[in-house]
Amino acid sequence: MQLFFGMAADGRTFPDHPGGGAGALDCAVVGPAGLVDALEAQLGLLGPPVPKAIRIAAYVAKLRAAGDSRFWSASFSKDPWSTAVQLLGWRDTLAAGGWTGAALGSVRLDDLAAAESAGAPMPAGLADRLAALVTAVGVRPGLRLKKLRLLEPRARFAPAWGRLLDALQGAGVVLEDGVAEPAAGPSTDLGRVQATLRGEPSEALVGDGSFTLVEADTALMAAEAVADWLAAGDQASLAGTVVLAPDGDTALLDHALAARGLPALGLSKPSPWRGALQVLPLAFAVAWRPFDPKALLNLLMLPRPPIGRFAAGRLARVLVAEPGLGGPAWLQAWKDIAATLLEREDEPDPAAAARKVARQVEQWRAWTQGGQFGRAEGMSVANARQIAGRVAAWAVATDAGRGDALFLAVGAAAGAFVRAIDALELEVLPALLIERVLAEVLAEGVANPGHAAEAGGLRAIHTPGALWAPALRLVWWSFVGPGEKVAPTTWSRAEQAVLAAAGVGLESAPEAAARISGGYADAVLRAGEQALFVRPALSGADETVAHPLEHQLHLMIEQAGELVRWRAERLLAEPAAQLAQRVLPRAAVDIMDAPAPRARWRVPAAGLARLANRRESATTLGRLLNCQLSWFAQDVLRLRAGRFAEIPEANQLFGNLAHEIANRLLPPGPPPAVADIRSRATALFEELLPRMAAPLQQPEFAGELAAARERVPAALEALVRTLHARGLEVVGAELDREGEVGGLALQGRLDLLVRQGATPAVIDLKWTRSARRYREEIAEGRAVQLAVYGAIAEPGTAATGAYYLLRQRRLFAPRGSLLAEEDIEAVRRLDETLHGVIDDVALWRSQLDGGNLLATGVGEAADHRPAELMFEASKEPCRFCDLTGLCRVGVEAL
């Protein structure tokens, strides 16, 4: 058996195997993990791999068992997990270098030795497996490896791997050293660069296109240039082209390649944020107290939620309307879900169907049981194991044997989580510790399963060392710094001396730097004809820095200047730009002017037909008086800006909560007694808070919640006092009303309707920070909401109205109203405001009947407004509009 071994050969390499087009038998290219796996299999040492999270958890237990007064004790008491992560890295480095766990007479090393011998044995990691192989090679029978060809010089391997190479050579394995030789002709720019990298005297570059540094302002423009260059070559040239993407992601470049009919490279960076992977952390986030509705909403809105899609959508809508658990809407939603399942059930026996549906609903409801465990108290291991088990069972059932990488990863992560918390040897798990374990089991993530390489000559790798044989062309995508970093030195000189005396070999910082820079140089040396280095100036919103290899070649590049530097933005100006011996033709396209803002719009007959049987509310009328186009688009055509489901902000939640408390405290009839109203309001506040405003229990709202706990009951107490003082009787709260006034059909929902004798009045409750807006509305005769509500409150009777500001405990009504508490002189009565609204609606409707709509925010709209309008245009009509892209008012002209 023959193996080709390189430190960067785990994963994609070029070539894939050493046999070329003919293939290879009993021969493979392997990296560190592959070599260890192959040797363990031959020597009978192969065991199941242990996830890193389990090893960290086991080390947490060992550090705890080692006792106090250790050098890590202070940090361990604050954050055991992070401390174990750091120390386990140190421990593994020592183990790989030959440390056996023995005390060596140095304080920190002896503390680690105490941890090594304390508690249960450590699950083996790669370092332990490597150390075991060094011991077993030459002793255990079964070694089939005859020849090991190194893909880089042997001197460049870290001491830990050098020990294994020595052991293999001692066991009779032939080692063949790997040295990258210059593949380009010496008379080319690329050959001159390769000579410089080998330490030979530098020669000036002439710009023959064999070595080019492509610079671009953005990665998008860089992708366009690279894709154009690849498309400009023939099909045969693709077969010898290797794209090196150090960030491991070629999605942007693949989009540009697809637009030109070229095969996708298919490199995708593993991410822990893929949709299905979020089920595990969200399942735990839902369980913590105080309950966080955002976590449950995120769980329900996943592309593949853990409950049925229709049920998830129904619950998500309820959660947005009333963010909490156990409220009437929430309970009704579950009844509706059960009814829907029963309708879909094909079980002929009604009793069996009902039992089946009940089991399904019970399983689904388990995912939504929130706020079960306090973060301060933590969660028992049994409960944590139950949640993880539910996630694992869902992942396996959803995968159903299809081998979906995402669901397999979810199941594996849930299993690793359970094994990790068992290894911690704790009865109760703090919330922070659970979150650390979850982050670790998901840290590796999963590559995008929908992003795969396509058949074709192009090949992609993500590390320079993965290019282990000559390639005709090298495209170094995202040639930016800082590159691979050298790990900081952990041990002091005295400790290094102790380790060296004990035979523990560690890689020094200069040796690591030489290994890294040698890998960069080898990749360039293996390019035979051309090398393109692509550097965007920006990576997202961040400015990039030069790659270490560019620093190494800085003098040559600067002296050559534009001979080797090429700006990707030239593609936007030149019809036939030349890049690296290829012409990149660009055809001019006609530039069309963007649509200009329009004040007047024409409405087709089909649009006018939608006005039949319309009924307006105070909200839609306010929109019409503000901007006719906005009203027609949003309220008649029902156009909406796309948006995600989201939990309402705090002010809206406080308002919703206060409205519901008032609804329950004020039944029809005489107002309740003042004596106990505050205590009843306080009790209702606490009862309804987790059911319909749970986000307010989060720590960030602690101050506002404490204030609201005092303000809401006090405000309702003051309101009840007013009702008694004015001799008002409650007609009803949260009343839906409809009516017709002056030919205008109206509808609305009244917060509170009261009566003084035979005279009705409407009180609209507001939770707002500013009182000035509502005072000015009444004073200026613009209280459209009060006017509309007053018109439809009681058939045949015009009711007065008032705003009651809960935060401020102030009642605003026009002077002379039976509800007036403050002297507010209004320029017109509420009935006059209503008639003004009716007249203005008629004027706008007459314009609309002529097929015309007006966009108020466009400058020349003022010239087309009907002169007889009572209500003037708002100073900022477009401030809260979502459709400014439609009328183009917010789009700058080119």
Report the pLDDT averaged over residues 151-177. 94
Q: Of 633, 879, 874, 887, which Cα lies nearest the Cα of 777?
A: 874
Nearest CA-CA partner of 429 in 378, 393, 388: 378
pLDDT confidence tier of residue 888, bands split at 50, 70 and 90:
confident
Is pLDDT above 60 for 894? Answer: no
pLDDT at 868 > cutoff 50: yes
Report pLDDT for 643. Answer: 62
Q: Computed over its alpha carbons, how large is the radius of gyration of the chain?
A: 37
What is the pLDDT of the chain when averaged over all its residues? Answer: 92
pTM given for the model? 0.88
DSSP for 559-612 reads HHGGGTEEEGGGGGT-TEEEETTEEEE----PPPPPPPP-SEEE--HHHHGGGT
pLDDT tier, 642 (very low <50, low <70, confident <90, very high otherwise) = low
Q: Which residue has the higher pLDDT, 450 or 365?
A: 365
User: Once rounded to an integer, what is the mean pLDDT over residues 763-774?
Assistant: 93
Closest CA to 80 of 94, 51, 105, 59: 59
Is the bond into 15 cis (omega within 30 degrees of 0)? yes
- Residue 551 clears pLDDT 50, i.e. is over it: yes
DSSP state of 569: G
DSSP reduced 3-state for 770: coil
Amino acid in position 471: A
pLDDT mean over 495-511? 93
Dist. CA 660–CA 670, nearest whole Å:
19
Condensed to tens digits (0 to 9), the pLDDT of residues 592-639 reads 887 888 889 898 888 888 888 899 999 999 999 999 999 999 999 998
Hey, where are the domains in the chain?
A: 2-176, 189-269+450-585
Least confident of 89-93, 294-298, 593-597, 670-674: 593-597
Superfamily of the domain at 189-269+450-585 = P-loop containing nucleotide triphosphate hydrolases (3.40.50.300)
The per-residue b/e assignment along 228-257, b for 16 or more CB within 10 angstroms, e otherwise, is bbbbbbeeebbebbbbbbbebbbbbbbebb
The arithmetic mean of pLDDT across residues 300-307, rounded, is 93
Is 775 in a helix, a strand, or coil?
A: helix
- Examine the pLDDT at 860 and tell me if it is beyond 90: no
Which DSSP helix (H) or strand (E) runs through 362? Answer: helix 350-366
For tokens 């017709």, what's the residue?
Answer: 740
